[in-house]
Amino acid sequence: MLLDFLPLLAKPAFWNYLPTGRHASFYDVWAGAGKPDSAKREAFRARMRTDLTHVFGLLRDGVLTARIAARFPLSEAAAAMELAESSGRTALGKIILVP
């Protein structure tokens, strides 16, 4: 299990050393912000659930919208990756793969 997880941590670490000026990090929201105490972790998760329920409600109601830069069929995933990785950040918004 841990061996499957290590590549997920290695990729952002590698990206942080590239001279592109971009940085990446990995954070597990449901881990409980590093709080080892079980009661604190559950309280943190309860707050997150409440907050996310509110945010998803705003998304559902159209109050919040995601900026979508482009949509690609899954068969064009390579083109989507090229756009996502293009220098100069030509894509302002999310790049969506459609099955």
Q: Residue 4: CA atoms inside 13 Å, Cβ hemisphere, count?
A: 1
pLDDT (0 to 100) of residue 7: 73
**E strand segments, the chain:** 68-73, 94-98
Structure-model confidence comparison of residues 6 and 73, the more confident one:
73
- Give the tens place of pLDDT for each residue, 6-54: 777 777 778 788 887 777 776 666 665 555 677 777 888 888 899 999 9
**Where are the domains positioned within the chain?**
66-99
Residue 62: pLDDT band with limits 50, 70, 90: very high
Distance CA 59, CA 53 (A): 10
* pLDDT averaged over every residue in the chain: 81
Distance CA 57, CA 63 (A): 9
